[in-house]
Amino acid sequence: MVNSKTKGSTAEREVAKIMTEATGYEWKRVPASGALFHSGHTEFHGDVYSDTNKDYEIEVKHHKEKFSFVDIFNSKGKIMKWWAKLIIECGDKQPMLWVKICGKWTLFTKLSLIDLKQLNIYPTQCFIGMFNLQESNINYEEKTIRIFYFGSLKEALRLVKKNE
């Protein structure tokens, strides 16, 4: 049986691989999976980073159970709690929440489809939604979320290489 730390580390390496293949920059797991930031080492943020491209704050979650579409936009659900935390912590960077659910990758971000294509990332499906967070320190613009579905790691890697 795989423990949650191993499962999370594997997911983080997969996202680093997807981002490296897509952007051409090297992306890596943050040492101690983001825990360094919370212990005062502010040079590390999120779960995946690049020394070359510092425009994005990437958080990675691996969840074994399916979420219904309603769960995704439930402001009290796990995904929106993860998103709210990322929005607060990302500062002036673009937030990217990569969630692996039952072996399939979904990206939650404020980036548009055009922005993703400029990064050579091509999702198979796209949804745009609004959500209502109780936190008063999150402004209206940050309540817009775009959801991009990629499928398995193999499918995601195939999609980022699509236009080479």
Q: In which order are the strands placed within the sheet that holds 28-29?
A: 28-29, 48-49, 56-63, 94-101, 104-109, 144-151, 125-130
* This prediction's pTM: 0.79
The encoded tokens of residue 95 equal 């937030």
The tens digit of pLDDT for each residue in 31-73 reads 876 555 555 555 667 899 998 888 899 999 988 777 666 666 6
Of 42-46, 127-131, 140-144, 154-158, the range with the lowest mean pLDDT is 140-144
Most confident of 38-42, 58-62, 143-147, 153-157: 58-62
The tens digit of pLDDT for each residue in 69-95 reads 666 666 677 888 888 888 888 888 888
CA–CA distances in Å: residue 57 to residues 44, 67, 141: 10, 23, 17
| Distance from C-alpha of 22 to C-alpha of 120, rounded to nearest angstrom | 5
